[in-house]
A and B are shown apart, each in its own frame.
Chain A
Amino acid sequence: MGKIKSLEDLKKRKQDLQKKVDLRERADHPEAYVQIKVGMATSGIASGAKEIYDFLVEALEKRNVEAVVTQAGDMGYSYAEPTIEVTKPGEEPVVFGYVTRERADEVIEKYIKRGELVDGILPQNYRTIDDE
Chain B
Amino acid sequence: MHLLVCGGTGCRASASDSIAESLKEQLHHHNMDHEVQVILTGCFGFCEKGPIVKVLPDNTFYTEVKPEDASDIVAEHLVKGRQVERLLYKAPSGEQVTDSRHMDFYKKQIRIALRNCGFIDPENIDEYIARDGYLALGTVLNEMTPQQVIDQVKESGLRGRGGGGFPAGKKWEFAYKNESDQKYVVCNADEGDPGAFMDRSILEGDPHAVLEAMAICGYATGADQGLIYIRAEYPLAIKRLKIAIEQAREYGLLGQQIFDSHFNFDIQLRYGAGAFVCGEETALIHSMEGERGEPTFKPPYPAQSGYLEKPTNVNNVETYANVPVIINKGPGWFSKIGTQKATGTKVFALAGKVNNVGLIEVPMGTTLREVIFEIGGGIKGGKKFKAVQTGGPSGGCLTEEHLDTPIDFDNLLAVGSMMGSGGMIVMDEDDCMVSVAKFFLEFTVEESCGKCAPCRVGNKRMHELLERITQGKAEKKDLQRLKNMCHVIADTSLCGLGQTAPSPVLSTMENFWDEYVAHVEDQRCPAGSCKELMRYEIIPENCVGCTACARKCPVGAITGERKQVHEIDQDKCIKCGACLDACKFDAVTIK
Within B198-220, which residues are at the interface with A (CB < 8 Å)? 200-202, 204-206
Does A64 reach chain B (CB closer than 8 Å)?
A: no
Contacts of A124 in B (CB 8 A): 106
Tell me whether A73 and B117 are in contact (CB under 8 A): yes
Within B28-65, which residues are at the interface with A (CB < 8 Å)? 37, 39-45, 54, 56
Tell me whether A125 and B106 are in contact (CB under 8 A): yes
Tell me whether A119 and B45 are in contact (CB under 8 A): no
Within A55-85, which residues are at the interface with B (CB < 8 Å)? 70-80, 85
Nearest neighbor of A77 in chain B, beta-carbon distance: B358
Known: A10-B129, A71-B122, A129-B111. Is A76-B333 also a contact (CB below 8 A)? no
Instruction: Select one of B115, B117, B126, B250 contacting A75, CB under 8 A.
Output: B117
Does A116 reach chain B (CB closer than 8 Å)?
A: yes
Instruction: Select one of B7, B122, B375 contacting A119, CB under 8 A.
Output: B7
Tell me whether A74 and B4 are in contact (CB under 8 A): no
Nearest neighbor of A18 in chain B, beta-carbon distance: B130
Contacts of B112 in A (CB 8 A): 129
Q: Shortest beta-carbon distance, B377 to chain A, in Å?
A: 8
Known: A6-B259, A76-B360. Is A117-B2 also a contact (CB below 8 A)? yes
Q: Shortest beta-carbon distance, B320 to chain A, in Å?
A: 16
Stretch at the interface among B131-139, B264-272, B382-390: B131-139
Contacts of A5 in B (CB 8 A): 252, 259-260
Known: A5-B259, A7-B139, A129-B329. Is A74-B118 also a contact (CB below 8 A)? yes
| CA of A129 to CA of B260, assembled, Å | 29
Within B343-382, which residues are at the interface with A (CB < 8 Å)? 355-361, 375
Does B120 reach chain A (CB closer than 8 Å)?
A: yes
Q: Shortest beta-carbon distance, B432 to chain A, in Å?
A: 24
| CA of A62 to CA of B28, assembled, Å | 36
Contacts of B135 in A (CB 8 A): 10-11, 14
Tell me whether B130 and A120 are in contact (CB under 8 A): no
Known: A117-B39, A121-B39. Is A78-B134 also a contact (CB below 8 A)? no
Does B448 reach chain A (CB closer than 8 Å)?
A: no
Tell me whether B111 and A128 are in contact (CB under 8 A): yes
Tell me whether A122 and B260 are in contact (CB under 8 A): no
Within A2-60, which residues are at the interface with B (CB < 8 Å)? 3-7, 10-11, 13-14, 17-18, 20-21, 37, 39, 41-43, 45
Known: A41-B205, A119-B39, A123-B45. Is A71-B118 also a contact (CB below 8 A)? no
Does B251 reach chain A (CB closer than 8 Å)?
A: yes
Q: Shortest beta-carbon distance, B374 to chain A, in Å?
A: 9
Tell me whether A123 and B44 are in contact (CB under 8 A): yes
Q: Shortest beta-carbon distance, B453 to chain A, in Å?
A: 38
Interface residues as binary, A107-132 with B (CB distance below 8 Å gives 1, 0 otherwise): 00000000011111111111111011
Tell me whether A71 and B123 are in contact (CB under 8 A): yes
Tell me whether B252 and A72 are in contact (CB under 8 A): no
| CA of A13 to CA of B2, assembled, Å | 40
Does B273 reach chain A (CB closer than 8 Å)?
A: no
Contacts of B333 in A (CB 8 A): 132
Nearest neighbor of A110 in chain B, beta-carbon distance: B37
Instruction: Select one of A17, A118, A128 contacting B129, CB under 8 A.
Output: A17
Interface size on A, residues (CB 8 A): 50
Nearest neighbor of B7 in chain A, beta-carbon distance: A119
| CA of A119 to CA of B45, assembled, Å | 16
Q: Shortest beta-carbon distance, B511 to chain A, in Å?
A: 27
Contacts of B141 in A (CB 8 A): 7
| CA of A6 to CA of B44, assembled, Å | 45
Tell me whether B251 and A3 are in contact (CB under 8 A): yes
Contacts of A76 in B (CB 8 A): 114, 117-118, 358-361
Tell me whether B356 and A127 are in contact (CB under 8 A): no
Nearest neighbor of A120 in chain B, beta-carbon distance: B42
Contacts of A123 in B (CB 8 A): 4, 41-45, 54
Contacts of B361 in A (CB 8 A): 76, 126
Does B510 reach chain A (CB closer than 8 Å)?
A: no
Tell me whether A72 and B205 are in contact (CB under 8 A): yes
Tell me whether B142 and A42 are in contact (CB under 8 A): no
Tell me whether A10 and B259 are in contact (CB under 8 A): yes
Tell me whether B197 and A42 are in contact (CB under 8 A): yes
Tell me whether A74 and B359 are in contact (CB under 8 A): yes
Nearest neighbor of B260 in chain A, beta-carbon distance: A6
Tell me whether B356 and A79 are in contact (CB under 8 A): yes
Tell me whether B40 and A41 are in contact (CB under 8 A): no
Tell me whether B205 and A73 are in contact (CB under 8 A): yes
Contacts of B329 in A (CB 8 A): 129, 132
Q: Shortest beta-carbon distance, A57 to chain B, in Å?
A: 14
Nearest neighbor of B138 in chain A, beta-carbon distance: A7
Interface residues as binary, B324-350 with A (CB distance below 8 Å gives 1, 0 otherwise): 010001000100000000000000000
Known: A73-B116, A123-B44. Is A41-B138 also a contact (CB below 8 A)? no
Contacts of B119 in A (CB 8 A): 37, 72-73, 128
| CA of A52 to CA of B111, assembled, Å | 26
Nearest neighbor of A72 in chain B, beta-carbon distance: B118
Contacts of A4 in B (CB 8 A): 134, 251-253, 259
Contacts of A1 in B (CB 8 A): 126, 251
Contacts of A71 in B (CB 8 A): 121-123
Contacts of B138 in A (CB 8 A): 6-7, 10-11
Q: Shortest beta-carbon distance, B69 to chain A, in Å?
A: 20
Q: Shortest beta-carbon distance, B215 to chain A, in Å?
A: 13
Some 24 contacts from A to B, beta carbons below 8 A apart, are: A1-B126, A4-B253, A6-B138, A6-B259, A20-B126, A37-B121, A42-B236, A73-B204, A74-B114, A74-B117, A74-B359, A76-B358, A76-B360, A79-B355, A117-B4, A117-B37, A119-B7, A121-B4, A125-B44, A126-B106, A126-B108, A127-B111, A128-B111, A129-B329
Apart from A117-B39, A120-B42, A128-B110, what 12 extra A-B contacts exist at CB < 8 Å? A4-B251, A41-B236, A42-B200, A71-B122, A77-B42, A119-B41, A121-B4, A121-B39, A124-B106, A126-B110, A126-B111, A127-B106
A-B pairs, top 10 by smallest CB distance, nearest first, are: A73-B205, A126-B109, A75-B118, A3-B252, A7-B138, A17-B130, A74-B201, A121-B41, A76-B359, A78-B358
